[in-house]
Amino acid sequence: MAAGPVPPAGWSYDLGDPHLDGAAAALLAALPSAAEILAVGEPTHGEPAFPRLRNRLLESLVAHGFRSVAVESDRVAGLDVDAYVQGGDASPDAVLDAGFSHGMGRLDANRELVTWLRAYNERRPPDERVTFHGFDAPLEMTSAPSPRRHLHHVHAYLSRHLGPDTFRHGRADLDALLGDDERWSDAAAIFDPHRSVGASPEAGALRLIADDLSTILYAEAPALVAASSADEWHRARVHASAAAGLLRYHAQAAEPAPPAVRTSRMLAVRDAWMAQNLLDIRSRERHRGPTLVFAHNRHLQRHRSTWRLADMDLGWSSAGAIVSTLLGPRYAVVVGSLGASDAVGLAEPPAGTFEAALGGRTALVSPAAVPNADGLRSRSDVTPEQGYFPLDTETLAHCDAVLHVGVAGPASPSTTRAPGVRLDLDEVAARILALPEVDMVVATEESGAPAVAWGWRFFYVGPDRRRPFATLGDSDMAGFDEESRLDRPGVFRLNLDLGQREFTRLFGYPPAEFADHRATIDFSVLDEVLPNPLYGAAAWASVLNPGPRSLAEVERLIAYAHTRARERHRRTSDRSS
């Protein structure tokens, strides 16, 4: 890693300039010269300033020899993004939709990143181009899919180039063992080990098959690469790794243990998987230049990660802790810090906290430059919904620098609005329709809907019109649905199908217990996410007139419900094909 003169121990560099060339040079000069991975963390996924700063920093780091960027997104999906930025024919929208997990393709900063990478790589030779990687597992926080598509990809690749009868394990064997995909993605399995398929004999057999297929990939690598290409072989290997990782994760989910222990172990499996991906990415990139890695602080920090979640004290070794242990000075980490943010509703930090000491500027700061660090405390004015993990003594002691955003600017229109602003019914509908593959059906007399439902809007993914993932309306249904008092002028209700696990996480009890709680709920309250008065037992939630209190959470839940609907449609399509 190239570096200039070493700055003083207490260095800091304001980031007001739209180009970060000076800041990048100062940062590199302060890091170990052996560093191959520069990990930059964000303290919450909800503040768009951090991915935007990542983009600006990458543009400057490329001038210092960086030739790759890795982000907290599914590694397999990231292969499609890299193909596009290397000049592939896919459309930008398709790449953003399919190439990022966790809904990250909707972020303006990721569109900017992909656009810049493609433009930069154009007319440059392969060894000078910047490659894109995802390094996350194909998981969501509360779900894990079937390994089917990954096993199918590897099996099809081997069959195509070696012949279907030249190795063990037929496609029919795989499908018989895999069974129905819904038993793998069952939301209840994340909370109840007895519902997990991971300890079944079929899952055990599939783990052996995944290992066999990976061994064949290596054993026959000369013939396979000659018959296809090194890139196709690599894609198959990444799929094989994803299949094995999912089977490991499901096996851990099936282990009975106290909730905090079990959840910590599952988080540890995910971060260990992320660490393996990072080490593999560095192996591929080692002759091309250093790698910029971007993810949440809790995945990148050097010390043990902790999290207080739903009355559980969780702890595990992050990917950063693992990689730092194995690579030593070849790993450097910059942790993110946030003062105030409209996007996540984070107020000015209280006096005496680390964030307050860093002030209202946006800057790269040496840990030694934080004033009076020994007398500072972690801020306690944050809520779980903000997703913000404050700076603390341990984080400051184990990082190479801090990327501090003192006061974040207004949120992007595509993510959320500043506090005090409400959306109207048409704006909510427009936001849902802007999501990929969404169609809207309006209940009318011509559609055969009853008169009380006319004007209600139903949102679907795919051609099946039997199961919407969201509905939207501003009228009561007399004798059937009146508790929200939609007869009030300007009042409307958004309803979302969240599934059992997210409903339980949100409200603290499963949908099956909704009837026991409904008497305590005022369904006419505005701007608050509540169980749906009609379909709470079916895991639906609702909100009247989303506004300052609920808007950020509502947008997250819309994205969540949409992702569930798309996965359901994909499973149906896979079974049909």
- List per-residue pLDDT tens for the chain, 577 residues long: 555 555 666 788 888 655 677 888 888 988 888 899 999 999 999 899 999 999 999 999 999 999 999 999 999 999 999 999 999 988 888 899 899 988 888 888 899 899 999 999 988 999 899 999 999 999 877 789 999 999 999 999 999 999 887 777 777 788 999 999 988 988 788 888 999 999 999 999 999 999 999 999 999 999 999 999 999 999 999 999 999 999 999 999 999 999 999 999 999 999 999 999 999 999 999 999 999 999 999 999 999 999 988 788 999 999 999 999 999 999 999 999 999 998 888 999 999 999 999 999 899 999 998 888 889 999 999 888 788 999 999 999 999 999 999 988 654 333 333 333 467 888 888 889 888 888 898 888 777 777 767 888 999 998 777 789 999 988 887 777 888 988 888 889 999 999 998 899 889 899 999 999 988 898 988 889 999 999 999 999 999 998 877 887 888 899 889 988 888 888 777 666 6
Q: Is 170 helix (H, G, I), strand (E, B) or coil?
A: coil
Angstrom distance (rounded) from CA 524 to CA 433? 26
| DSSP β-bridge partners for residue 134 | 71
Report the alpha-carbon distance of residue 300 to residue 474 in Å, rounded.
45
Cα 524 from Cα 205, distance rounded (Å): 52
CA end-to-end span of the chain: 49
Determine the 3-state secondary structure of 527 from DSSP. Answer: coil
- Cα gap 138→273, rounded to integer Å: 10
The answer to pTM > 0.75 is no
DSSP string, 190-218: HH-GGG-STTSHHHHHHHHHHHHHHHHHH
For residue 58, the number of C-alpha atoms closer than 13 Å in the C-beta half-sphere is: 29
Whole-angstrom Cα distance, residue 232 to residue 500? 39
